[in-house]
Every structure is written in structure tokens, then in C-alpha cells.
Structure 1
Amino acid sequence: MNKDYSILIIDDEQSQREVLNGYLLKKGYKTFTASSGSEGITLTQNEQIDIILSDYKMPDKTGLEILEEVKNINPEICFVLITAYGTIENAVKAMRLGAYDYLTKPIDLDELDLLLEKIIENKNLKSEVNYLKQQLRDKFKIDSFISTSPKMQEVLSVAARASESKATVLITGESGTGKEVLAKSIHYIIPRKEKPFIAVNVPALPETLLESELFGHEKGAFTGADKTRTGRFELANKGTLFLDEIGDIPMNLQVKLLRVLQEHKIERLGSNESINIDVRVIAATHQNLEQKIKDGTFREDLFYRLNVISIHIPPLRERKEDILPLIEHFIKKYSVENEKPQLELSKEALDILIKYNYPGNVRELENIMERAVVLSRHNIITVNDLPSAVKGFKTESDPILDENKSLTEQVEALEKKLIYDALTKANGNQSLAGRMLGITERNLRYKMQKYGIKNTNLKIHNQK
């Protein structure tokens, strides 16, 4: 709710302060006002402030000076600069220094509402995601969760909430998106974090062994069973059992798995004795289980038992805003591992990496960057350091109809890609990107907010 968020208005013009203050109070926000930069800094030190709306030009301090001091006091405060059209360059500089966004005078109140809603949405997601990451910090490395995209932030938000329950979770997504990483993250939240996490790759085990692996067997249960074996369900007791690629489980075992989920009991092969278990099941698949149900190869009742909480991890090509921070992370990681100086990335190489569709997703991107770091001869990763499949990738010149998406969804996806490509080519300069796209800078900023597109501080090398 708005009343849970406090906004500080810093402006030396009394009329501007009063207009904004009155409007925000009617919207339900808690507000503070300051007529100078120094007064605003004092309020920031003494009050709980979530968002600051600050004019750029004031007698005692500039907006950039206020921003710098605010970030030293509390880097979690969202700072929005208010500026005239003639000082847009200063606003862009402020964003590079950590400002969330900027507004131009005269302030469009509808634009202000949209911006504040976006800030609050991001703060709510960030709070949940930070909680998830804090719980995992000492237990599990979550490199694959480097992300700025709203889609992945929502994934982590659902995971954080799901972790507190015993409900089964079904994680869907293409290979390489990080389904097992997410499953481990859900497990390593209280109360099961000290208990075992047992993973089973269903298609990796022959059907004749899978039942024994899951439920265990008694000595003499079948030829070669020379001793009693504890199954994965028992090993995971009080903890989590992760069933990877659950879509490949044979029909005869689907019945037994359904019974376990319903009754919380198992029977070892060769035994009639029931064993009580307390296991949280997380399943994952890259397959369309609803289609498998229609085809008669997956039980509908089992699907609903597994799909209590559903989490879909989008492929990397649908969250391209994550590519840049992931590249930056992998360059740092493999530069250290290979005892190389921090490498830069040529603009030409970046352009190719952004356009590539990554059928192997994050796993493929990591492999590409490890290879590039190892093969680079100088301090710059160039196109020649990329695999031939990446260098030879060509995007389709004509749009491809996706029957599973509406016209609006497909048009928005294309618009988002064009905006992202323009920002990349303009090195984050929104004014230049707007000119490339043939729209006003204000319209561009509105669309960036709409699609959750943010600039990045990735260091790009322009080759001469």
C-alpha cells in the first residue's frame, strides 16, 4: 500500500513542493519536504525515507551532490532527479551514478504515478529476492540468479514464498535455464535447509533400476539384490527430493509416485511394510506435461499433485536484459580462474552475443564466455574469440507467427527487442536511442518503464 512508502521532495521552489506534496498525500503516501539540499540530507539521516524526488538545480547543492550523499547514507533509497529539458545530460549522468530515473519539468503526474508504481513493485520483489539470497548465502552459490529482468525477479519472488511451505513444486523451463539451481534454492530456506537435498535425474536411470532407486529394495527382491538398499525417498526424509525431467517417468511408476504423494508412505521392493516419510518433492521438466496428458503418457492426477506451485523459468532469449550482467559476471569469474587481467568486450562481440538466441540458455552463455576468456590473446574479447555457431547466427528477417501468443504480445516482444537493441547501440544514451527509434525520449522512457528495461554499467570496448 502507498501509505507504507515515504517520499521526500527536495525543491527550493515552494509552489513545486506544495503541488507535489499535496498530490502525493492524496495518493496515500507519507511525505516529507525540504527547501534545500542540506535540509533534504538531514531529513534522510533522521527519517525513514524510501523514495526521493529531488530538483537538480538548487542554491546550495546540485542534484548530483545530493544523490552522492544519499547513496552514502542509504543506498536502498530510490532517487529520482527532476530536471529541465536543458539539463538532460546531467540526468543521464545521475542514472549512471545510481539514480533510479529522472523526470522532466513540467512533471506529468500520470508519468509520476507510473514511475512510483514501478519503484514500489521493484522494491517489493527486491525485498523477497534479497530474503531468498540472504538465506542461501552460506549454503548455496546462486551465480545463475544474476538477473535484472522483471521475469526472473518474479520467478525468485515465487520461489521465496514457496520455500516456506511443504507444497510440491513443479519447475518448468528449457534445458540450461537453471531448474535444479532453483530447486536447491527453495530447499535451502528454513525449515529444511539442514536436511538432505537428494536429486534424481529420471531419464538417466534405466526403467528397471528407477523403481529401486526411488523406493529401495529388500535383500533378494530380484536377481542381483544381494543386500537391502535404501531408496532416494528414505534418504531425503525430512528434506527435499528433486525429480529432474519428471516427464520421462514410466507410467507404471507414476501410479506409485502418486500414492506416495497422497499417503506419505513408501514400500521397498520385496516388502509389504509401509515406511512413513516426510519429504518435500520438487519436480522439473522441459516437456509440456499438459500435452503428454492428452497423449496418454502422463497421468492427469499426478500432474495436479505435482503442480501445486508452478514456476516457469523463461529462456534467456525472452529476458535479454539479463545477458549483459551475466556476461560481465562470467568474464570476471573466468578471468580470475585463468589468472588473467579483467577483460573487456568489444562492441562487435557484444552485438553478436545480444542477438544470439541461446538454445542452451544460461549454461550455454557461461560456456561461451569461459571459452572466450581462455582463447582471448589480448585484454579484449573480440568476435574471433566466439564459437562459430554464435558468429554465424542470423536472425530471421521476417517475423515468425507464434500461434500460442496474441498479436499484442508478439508486437510488444518485437518492440521490446528493438528498444533494447537501440539502447545497446547507443551505449545507454536514451536521447540517441530515441532518435534511432524515431520516438521522443519521454516516450522511450515510458516504454522502458513499461517493459522493465534498465541500462547497464557493463564496460564495453569500442574497437578502432
Structure 2
Amino acid sequence: MAQTKVLVVEDEPNARAGLAELIASWGYRTETAVDGAAGLDAVVRWSPDVVVTDMMMPRMDGLQLLDRISELPQQVAVVVLTAQGSIDSAVDAMRMGAYDYLQKPVDPQRLKTILQNARQQTEANEEIAQEESEAEATGRLGPLVGSSPQMREIFTMIEKIAPNNVSVLITGESGTGKELAARALHLMSGRRNKPFVAVNCAAIPETLIESEIFGHERGAFTGAQERRAGCFELAEEGTLLLDEIGEMPAATQTKLLRVLEDRKLRRLGSRDEIPVNVRVIAATNKDPHTAVSAGELRGDLFYRLNVFNIQMPPLREHRDDIPAMVAAMIDEMNTRHGTTVPGIARPVMERFLTYSWPGNARELRNTIERAVILSNNKTLDVSHLPPGFGDAAHTPPAHGAHLSSGAHSAVTENAVASDMVHLSVGTTVDEAEKQLILKTLQSTRNNKTRAAEILGISSKTLQNKLKEYALDDKEA
């Protein structure tokens, strides 16, 4: 740590001296600068590892300094100091490449944690740079696979934003690999050796979700017989993925926003606040702007999460990646199941390349896993595919089309082949949606999880629709 150099840029003399003295007491080498212009000179001359800079300064403010540092060849982590209530400017700084931000008056423990994280990121940068080079050559970035322009763009964005402690919102249809993108962000960051915790907000009952995420004390509610750490605490120093963020209850969204801004949480039933050091990534298969308009997602939470947005493309839009994805999935399944499947037959690949994959990469993985299990360690052929797979032309959903619930519209291959949804002029949108859902359930033999995947909606949304239609499990 003694080799880590920290530059403090602050125009107020007492604050500048106090910060430098505090940081030096932790074993860092420090220098100071009186404003942004002097800070830029010091960065060029001294090559610090971390710059801690105030936002409001004469001659050159913090954002201008950050912008100028980003043009330099050396890698410098920039931490900006903001006045209370200036979260908007902090988010702007993060979008410009700041590593993190801290509100004034400075919380010493929070500053110490940020500096430690920045040092870990610096130490990981060399190894990560090697992985970025390999990703360019092999078409793989962590768990993500692809060489298409769409996936290359995803890789570039992940490589750019992973090193910063910035919130990210990942959007895209169900099954497009949003969790894989989140894992790639984690693996390309200085938090890579710390926990990665994923929680599906749609899979947790509304009465338990706040406890699941924030934890609870003994006696906080009926059945709380002992203290329990929530997902934030389990992900300490690592990354927390909140999947299906649009399904999170409004009250929990309010509490989450407070945690994101204050970096502290309070367990249910507790009066004490706990500092948290967690990078939060959110994901949703809904159009977030539509969700905000519908009141399903708080606008201020969306703004706070959407510092950067990664839009995962549906598989039908990057079919060129299917051969590489299939090869990677076969390797994965061979390891998981102890099989030795050598590859895939040409007729199967031809079907894969012409099929529209309404369930996206998740459906491809499930299809490969089924085939591997049935193959008896032989090359995967047509006999190992689900009955009727790819026999009928499949009409892919229009890009951006939505059910009235905000979910993506889709039609199963079986529905096209034998269970056509017949609509007549005058049919309402709600009735058309109902017919589509019921036909999809029929084609999946009432497998609600599978039906939800095909329709591109969450299981919770599907259950709510069935309740709306007053259908129990037996009737559905």
C-alpha cells in the first residue's frame, strides 16, 4: 500500500490538508493541488494511482479535470467529492469515467474503502487487460460468447465500464444472457475475487423481498427467529445483481434508492445503519421507460441505476454467433454431466441457424443440454432434438413489440404448427393476449416456467395474468 500514490485536489486549504493527512495515515503516499489546473499538472508530473478531487473549484472544476485525465495515457482512478444533495453531478461524473464518488462531509471509513477498492482495481488491471486481448482473439469475455458486431459492442462496453464502481442497468428479452453480462462485469472488475450474488426480484414473495435483500433482526416479524444477513451483506465488497428490478415492490424500491445514495442500509427491525461496499447491477426484460411511465419502476431509481445501459440483443439478431455458442455450451454440458459429446451434426446446425429462438440463448442452452443427455456421447443429431423442433416456420416477434403488460409478444413453434391463435376483426388486445397466453400454456403442457420464457415475460407476470383470467392451475 505504501507504493500507492494519492493526489488530493481541493481549493479549500483546511479540507485539502486534512484529507491529505488522513490518507497518509493509512499508508498512502500523498500530494496536494489547489485546483483542477494544478491537479492536472501534478497528474502529468507525479503519475498518481488515485486522484481525489472536489467538484467545485476555480480555473478548472472536478468534471473538467476528470475529462482531461481521461485523455492521458496513464491509468488513474478518479474519486470525486460532491456536496450533499448533488447526486446528479456525481452520476454525471461516473458516466464520464470517475471510479467512484463521495459526499461531503467526507466519511473517513467510506473514503478508506473506496481507496482500497481503487487499489485492488489497479492491481487487477494488468490481468484484465490480458483477458480483454484474449476476448478480441477468441470471441469470449468471461461467460459471454460471440464475435458478431452486436456482441463485440457489448464486450467493448463491459470492458469500458467494468473497472468503475458504477451502477449498470442491463435490459433485453428473457433468456438473452443478462446475468451472464452481469457476471462478465464482475469478472472484469477489481471485485472479481469477491462474492457475486444474484437475486430474482420476481421469484421472491412480496412479503419477504425486503428481508431477502436488506436482512432482518431477530423478532422483526413473525417467524424471524434469528438475525439474517440480506443479499447486500452477502455481496459485501463484491457485486449484487437485482434481476427483474421492475417486479420489486414500490416500498422496497424506495429503500433501495436510499441505500444506493447513502451506501448504508438498515436491517428490518434494526435502528442501526450498516455501511455497505457493494456494486449494484440491475436487469429487466421490460422496457424501463415504459415501466417508469406505468409506475412499476421509480423514475429516480431508474436514473440512479441507469448510469450505463447494456442492451442484450435477442439471439435471432446475431445468429452468426450460434456455432461458437453451441461449441461452448457442449463443452459446458460435457463438464457438468461427465459426457464426451464431440460436436453437432450439420443438419442440426442448419436448423439452429434458421430457427427464431423465442427463448433466446436460454432456450438454446436447454436444447443443447437435453441433446447432450440423450446423445449417449455421440455427435448431436436431429433425433436428439425436441419432437417437431424447427419443422414449421416460426414467426419471430417484432423488435420492441410488447404485450399490454409490457412483456415481449411471442408465438411458440407449436402454436404456429398446430395451435394457431385465430383472431377476427374486432378482437380486443386483451382478448388476443389471453388467447396467446392460453395457447402457449397448452403447447407447453401447462409448464408455466417454459411458457413464461417463450412469451418473454416473468413467471410472476404470467401468474398475475392467470389470476386476472380467474383460472386456477387445473383450468389453465
Q: 1:218 to 1:329 in 2, by over 3 A?
A: closer
User: How far has the Cα of 1:253 moved from its partner?
Assistant: 0.9
1:198 is aligned with what amino acid? Answer: V
User: How far has the Cα of 1:195 moved from its partner?
Assistant: 2.1
User: How far has the Cα of 1:182 moved from its partner?
Assistant: 1.6
* 8 Å Cα contact 1:171-1:282 kept in structure 2: yes
3-state DSSP of counterpart to 1:281: strand
- Counterpart position of 1:342: 342
* 8 Å Cα contact 1:266-1:277 kept in structure 2: yes
| 1:215 maps to 2:214 | yes
Aligned mates of 2:372, 2:383 — CA distance in 1: 12
Aligned mates of 1:169, 1:375 — CA distance in 2: 39
CA displacement 1:124-175 (0-9 Å, x = unmatched): xxx998634869xxxxx96742211111111011111111101101111222
Q: 1:242 to 1:403 in 2, by over 3 A?
A: closer
| 1:163 maps to 2:167 | no
3-state DSSP of counterpart to 1:390: coil
- Counterpart position of 1:327: 326
User: How far has the Cα of 1:343 moved from its partner?
Assistant: 4.0
Q: 1:172 to 1:381 in 2, by over 3 A?
A: same
Aligned mates of 1:403, 1:176 — CA distance in 2: 15
Determine which structure has the larger helix proportion and give its number: 1
User: How far has the Cα of 1:355 moved from its partner?
Assistant: 0.9
1:385 is aligned with what amino acid? Answer: H
User: How far has the Cα of 1:402 moved from its partner?
Assistant: 5.8
Aligned mates of 1:252, 1:146 — CA distance in 2: 37
User: How far has the Cα of 1:178 moved from its partner?
Assistant: 1.7
1:320 is aligned with what amino acid? Answer: R
Matches within 5 A, 1:75-94: none
3-state DSSP of counterpart to 1:310: strand
* 8 Å Cα contact 2:341-2:372 kept in structure 1: no
- Counterpart position of 1:424: none
3-state DSSP of counterpart to 2:389: helix
Matches within 5 A, 1:96-107: none
1:245 is aligned with what amino acid? Answer: E
CA displacement 1:304-329 (0-9 Å, x = unmatched): 10100110111111101001222233
Q: 1:197 to 1:144 in 2, by over 3 A?
A: closer
1:145 is aligned with what amino acid? Answer: L
| 1:355 maps to 2:354 | yes
- Counterpart position of 2:246: 247
- Counterpart position of 1:206: 205
| 1:174 maps to 2:211 | no
2:150 is aligned with what amino acid? Answer: K
Aligned mates of 2:243, 2:216 — CA distance in 1: 22
Aligned mates of 1:198, 1:218 — CA distance in 2: 21
Q: What value does the CA root-mean-square deviation take over the aligned residues?
A: 2.9
Aligned mates of 1:400, 1:242 — CA distance in 2: 27
Q: 1:268 to 1:394 in 2, by over 3 A?
A: same
- Counterpart position of 2:150: 151
Q: 1:325 to 1:400 in 2, by over 3 A?
A: closer
Q: Report which of the two structures shows the higher radius of gyration computed on alpha carbons.
A: 1
Q: 1:330 to 1:190 in 2, by over 3 A?
A: closer
Q: 1:376 to 1:209 in 2, by over 3 A?
A: closer
Aligned mates of 2:152, 2:377 — CA distance in 1: 36
Aligned mates of 2:161, 2:257 — CA distance in 1: 21
- Counterpart position of 2:232: 233
* 8 Å Cα contact 2:142-2:183 kept in structure 1: no
3-state DSSP of counterpart to 1:393: coil
- Counterpart position of 2:384: 385
- Counterpart position of 1:299: 298
* 8 Å Cα contact 1:128-1:157 kept in structure 2: no
2:151 is aligned with what amino acid? Answer: M
- Counterpart position of 1:187: 186
- Counterpart position of 2:90: none
1:131 is aligned with what amino acid? Answer: E
Q: 1:230 to 1:133 in 2, by over 3 A?
A: farther
Aligned mates of 2:237, 2:378 — CA distance in 1: 50
User: How far has the Cα of 1:401 moved from its partner?
Assistant: 6.9
CA displacement 1:196-223 (0-9 Å, x = unmatched): 2222111111111111111112222222
Q: 1:251 to 1:245 in 2, by over 3 A?
A: same
CA displacement 1:361-398 (0-9 Å, x = unmatched): 122212222333443479554333322252333145xx
TM-score (norm 1): 0.53
TM-score (norm 2): 0.52
Aligned mates of 1:175, 1:395 — CA distance in 2: 18
332-341 or 277-286, larger mean C-alpha shift: 332-341
2:233 is aligned with what amino acid? Answer: E
CA displacement 1:331-350 (0-9 Å, x = unmatched): 4555675644624413x332
Aligned mates of 2:312, 2:224 — CA distance in 1: 40
* 8 Å Cα contact 1:335-1:343 kept in structure 2: no
1:356 is aligned with what amino acid? Answer: Y
* 8 Å Cα contact 2:340-2:377 kept in structure 1: no
Gaps of 5+ in 1: 1-126, 136-140, 405-464
* 8 Å Cα contact 1:144-1:178 kept in structure 2: no
336-345 or 287-296, larger mean C-alpha shift: 336-345
Aligned mates of 2:192, 2:341 — CA distance in 1: 37
* 8 Å Cα contact 2:216-2:229 kept in structure 1: yes
* 8 Å Cα contact 1:176-1:360 kept in structure 2: yes
Q: 1:357 to 1:277 in 2, by over 3 A?
A: same
* 8 Å Cα contact 1:148-1:322 kept in structure 2: yes
User: How far has the Cα of 1:256 moved from its partner?
Assistant: 0.7
* 8 Å Cα contact 1:144-1:362 kept in structure 2: no
* 8 Å Cα contact 2:168-2:281 kept in structure 1: yes
Q: 1:273 to 1:312 in 2, by over 3 A?
A: same
1:166 is aligned with what amino acid? Answer: N
* 8 Å Cα contact 2:342-2:377 kept in structure 1: no
| 1:264 maps to 2:257 | no
* 8 Å Cα contact 1:142-1:181 kept in structure 2: no
2:253 is aligned with what amino acid? Answer: Q
